[in-house]
A = this chain, B = another copy of it.
Amino acid sequence: MKMILTASRNFIWIYALVLLAFSARADDGHDLWLRPVNAKPVKVTGVNAKSPMMGIAKKEIEQRWLGAENATVEFRIVKDPTVKTDGFKITGNAISATSESGILYGAYELLRRQQTGDLSNVISNPSYQRRILNHWDNLNGSIERGYAGNSIFWRSGDNAFTVTEKDKQLWQEYARANASIGINGSVLNNVNASAQILGADQLKRLVAIAAVLRPYGIKTYLSINFASPIGLGKLPNADPLNPEVIKWWKEKVAEIYKLVPDFGGFLVKANSEGQPGPQDYKRTHVDGANMLADALKPYNGIVMWRAFVYNASEKDRAKQAYLEFMPFDGQFRDNVIIQVKNGPIDFQPREPFSPLFGALKKTPIMPELQVTQEYLGHSEQLVFLATMWEEMFKSDTYQEGKNSTVARVTDGSIFPQKYTAIAGVSNVGLDTNWNGHEFAQANWYAYGRMAWNDQLDSKTIADEWIKLTFAPADVNNNWKNGFLEPVKKMMLESRETAVDYSMPLGLHHIFAGSHHYGPGPWWAPAGTRKDWTPPYYHQADANGIGFDRTKNGTDAVDQYHAPLAADFNNVATTPEMYLLYFHHLSWDYKMKNGKTLWDDLCSHWDSGVKQVRQYQVVWDKVEPYVDAQRFARVQEKLRRQTRDAQFWKDACILYFQQFSKRPIPDYVERPVNNLNYYMTTDPLSMKPVQQRR
């Protein structure tokens, strides 16, 4: 079995078919949170026989019913002002909704409740209308920041555009997994987009994918390259005010909607990290986004325009998106949504929320989360991201007084938006278990659940996911105390642990270059943009460490609403978890726990390592409750995580000690290699690196 797990799905297809007869399918992790159950007989009524979606809902109920034997489940399409599109009401065994999609989501909810032991009635409406996965899949099949094999949508080679039964089966499994947690949109390709995505072959493939996803309520979207009119259309430029360009896009959109009438729209990364955009023609983001929005408008399509823009200027990178977009507030079409990463820098283990949240009051805005673990251990480390997202959702922007949380300023609760949406950068690939790490499945799950309900807490989600993914048929107290509780605790602590062993106390962007795995606080190859190198972010010197974003520094604090601007400006009122994000402080700065900053930094790095070691113990102890295959895979990953956490700790302590010139506290475990080793060893491959500094 083991060999299979590290190979890609393509490669192992034949093996898998052979092995299917001999081993429990569940062990390979492919079933996610939808593992087969011993269903009881059930009758489903109210099914519109002509609707594929209703058919799916019915089949799910029949295949997974754990309620009373021979019960009747009633589907009801109703008019009910308390139930929004996609929403539903569960009363006993009846599911009512105003749309077929509501019935489908209700069916999954009812089944989930049976499996997790919650039998209460519920009315449930989604927080965001569009709950989208962004796939950073390239057309050659690779995935940017993908750690679970190649793309499930695209591939290179002779049969790149042949749609096989295997493709369709996989897409269907993917669609089902998404539908079961409420995800209703997929951007099929990388934001660093090829113009070729709008080519004929690619659009044909879009049609095929959309056909499989549609009955599961999932709209398809594409990332577009702003220069497509040049690359694909052979126009001389892509100036958004050029009538030829406008025409080209209108025709291309018409072509797409003819093929896929329920197409969702475009995701655009423009004038960001080298991508083309309207500024290439001295036009603005508004010019670019509105031009596309006008083309999409007749079909109810939307433009998701990313706010992740920054230049290699003297301006603090953390401030740039705000400075760029705030002047345009109110100028975008109503079918443009600005897509904003959770933090101002880039999906770091911890950042404060982006100051754009709430600040754009007349412009629809959508949060972008990263489900794939670019900076949080790829698919090698167990890091449950729900706590990070919960921290963001619950952060109060104070834009309209207290309780203007990021959740409420983006989901339409405070600023009405024609469209509400949320994006998560997917961690799905061809690996048998979809996500590389068994526990990375929990992040996909959590993203869907939080996109549906941005008030949901991480603990509830972890509890659900563990029960669905690991519980035996006969859950008892032994299992609850022996597996559920310790594993839940580990998951809930795991993100803070990762912060501890990598970038505690507000440190950010000190990772290794290129693959972003492991530490690289020294990383600054000659000729590299300063704002891409860690020393720009940690600012360590003999006096101290940290990025001064106070009024005395870059004044990034001023982009936050009162009282946050003042709180972050004052070291005494800045939450210590953001300390070095906002302040440059002496190594001897006294922390609230009485330790010096240097000692406390060392303690955090060290306790992160010790925590991961403890997770190894936790996992070893749950062995009796889990199948051998998944047990071994997670055990092996935790071994690596321990090594990697120690690599982080040792490298950071030794590197920063060069500046602090202070001893490592006694209670902190010593490095096991010299700094030179860490600086010359690639933390991902563990092989020597060529380039140093």
Q: Give bound CA distance, A666 to B486, whole Å.
A: 14
Shortest Cβ gap from A138 to chain B (Å): 32
Q: Which of A25-33, A212-220, A613-621 contacts B (4 or more CB under 8 A)?
A: A613-621
Note all chain B residues with C-beta closer than 8 A to A643.
Answer: 672-673
Chain A, range 666-681, C-beta contacts under 8 Å to B: 666, 669-674
Q: Does A642 contact B (CB under 8 A)?
A: yes
Note all chain B residues with C-beta closer than 8 A to A640.
Answer: 672
**Quick one: CB contact mask for A596-620 with B, threshold 8 Å, 1 for yes?**
0000000000000000010011001
The answer on a CB contact under 8 Å between A620 and B663 is yes
Q: Give bound CA distance, A236 to B1, whole Å.
A: 64
Q: Does A639 contact B (CB under 8 A)?
A: yes
Q: Does A585 contact B (CB under 8 A)?
A: no
Q: Which has the most chain B C-beta neighbours within 10 Å: A642, A643, A672?
A: A672
The contact of A639 among B620, B636, B663, B671, by CB within 8 Å, is: B671
Q: Give bound CA distance, A664 to B621, whole Å.
A: 9
**Quick one: CB contact mask for A614-655 with B, threshold 8 Å, 1 for yes?**
001100110100000000000010111011001000000000
The answer on a CB contact under 8 Å between B670 and A621 is no
**Quick one: CB contact mask for A301-312 with B, threshold 8 Å, 1 for yes?**
000000000000
The answer on a CB contact under 8 Å between B636 and A670 is no
Q: Give bound CA distance, A643 to B646, whole Å.
A: 12
The answer on a CB contact under 8 Å between A642 and B672 is yes
Shortest Cβ gap from A82 to chain B (Å): 51
The contact of A620 among B636, B638, B664, by CB within 8 Å, is: B664
The answer on a CB contact under 8 Å between A663 and B623 is yes
The answer on a CB contact under 8 Å between B617 and A642 is no
Note all chain B residues with C-beta closer than 8 A to A617.
Answer: 666, 670
Q: A620-B664, A663-B620, A663-B623 given as contacts; is B669 within 8 A of A639 (CB)? A: no
Note all chain B residues with C-beta closer than 8 A to A621.
Answer: 663, 666
Note all chain B residues with C-beta closer than 8 A to A670.
Answer: 613, 616-617, 620, 638-639, 642
Specify the main secondary structure of chain A where it touches its partner: helix
Chain A: number of interface residues, binned into ranges: 20 to 34
Closest to A639 in B: B672
Q: Give bound CA distance, A366 to B616, whole Å.
A: 50
- Chain copies in the assembled complex: 2
Note all chain B residues with C-beta closer than 8 A to A639.
Answer: 670-674
Shortest Cβ gap from A487 to chain B (Å): 16
Q: Give bound CA distance, A617 to B666, whole Å.
A: 6
Q: A623-B663, A663-B623, A666-B621 given as contacts; is B636 within 8 A of A674 (CB)? A: yes
Q: Give bound CA distance, A666 to B642, whole Å.
A: 16
Closest to A665 in B: B617
Note all chain B residues with C-beta closer than 8 A to A673.
Answer: 639, 643
Q: Give bound CA distance, A623 to B664, whole Å.
A: 12
Note all chain B residues with C-beta closer than 8 A to A669.
Answer: 613, 616
Q: Give bound CA distance, A613 to B613, whole Å.
A: 15
Q: Give bound CA distance, A442 to B308, whole Å.
A: 62
Shortest Cβ gap from A665 to chain B (Å): 9
Note all chain B residues with C-beta closer than 8 A to A646.
Answer: 672
Shortest Cβ gap from A124 to chain B (Å): 41
Shortest Cβ gap from A108 to chain B (Å): 37
Q: Which has the most chain B C-beta neighbours within 10 Å: A617, A646, A666, A673?
A: A617
Note all chain B residues with C-beta closer than 8 A to A616.
Answer: 669-670
Q: Give bound CA distance, A646 to B672, whole Å.
A: 10
Closest to A613 in B: B669
Shortest Cβ gap from A7 to chain B (Å): 17
Q: Give bound CA distance, A646 to B646, whole Å.
A: 13
Shortest Cβ gap from A629 to chain B (Å): 15
Note all chain B residues with C-beta closer than 8 A to A664.
Answer: 620
**Quick one: CB contact mask for A70-101 with B, threshold 8 Å, 1 for yes?**
00000000000000000000000000000000
Q: Give bound CA distance, A663 to B623, whole Å.
A: 9
Shortest Cβ gap from A141 to chain B (Å): 30
Q: Give bound CA distance, A620 to B670, whole Å.
A: 9
Shortest Cβ gap from A587 to chain B (Å): 17
Chain A, range 543-590, C-beta contacts under 8 Å to B: none
Q: Give bound CA distance, A446 to B640, whole Å.
A: 42
Q: Give bound CA distance, A617 to B623, whole Å.
A: 35
Note all chain B residues with C-beta closer than 8 A to A613.
Answer: 669-670
Closest to A617 in B: B666
Shortest Cβ gap from A681 to chain B (Å): 11
Chain A, range 337-393, C-beta contacts under 8 Å to B: none
Q: Give bound CA distance, A617 to B669, whole Å.
A: 8
Q: Give bound CA distance, A642 to B673, whole Å.
A: 9
Q: Give bound CA distance, A617 to B642, whole Å.
A: 21
Q: Give bound CA distance, A443 to B366, whole Å.
A: 69
Q: Give bound CA distance, A642 to B636, whole Å.
A: 22
Shortest Cβ gap from A462 to chain B (Å): 22
Note all chain B residues with C-beta closer than 8 A to A636.
Answer: 674
Top-9 shortest CB links A-B? A616-B670, A643-B672, A642-B672, A639-B672, A617-B666, A613-B669, A639-B673, A636-B674, A639-B671
Question: Can you report 11 residue pairs joining A to B where beta carbons are below 8 Å apart?
Answer: A613-B670, A616-B669, A620-B663, A621-B666, A638-B670, A639-B672, A639-B674, A642-B670, A642-B672, A643-B672, A643-B673
For the A-B complex with A639-B671, A639-B674 known, give 9 more contacts whose Cβ atoms are closer than 8 Å: A613-B669, A616-B670, A620-B663, A621-B663, A639-B672, A639-B673, A640-B672, A643-B672, A643-B673
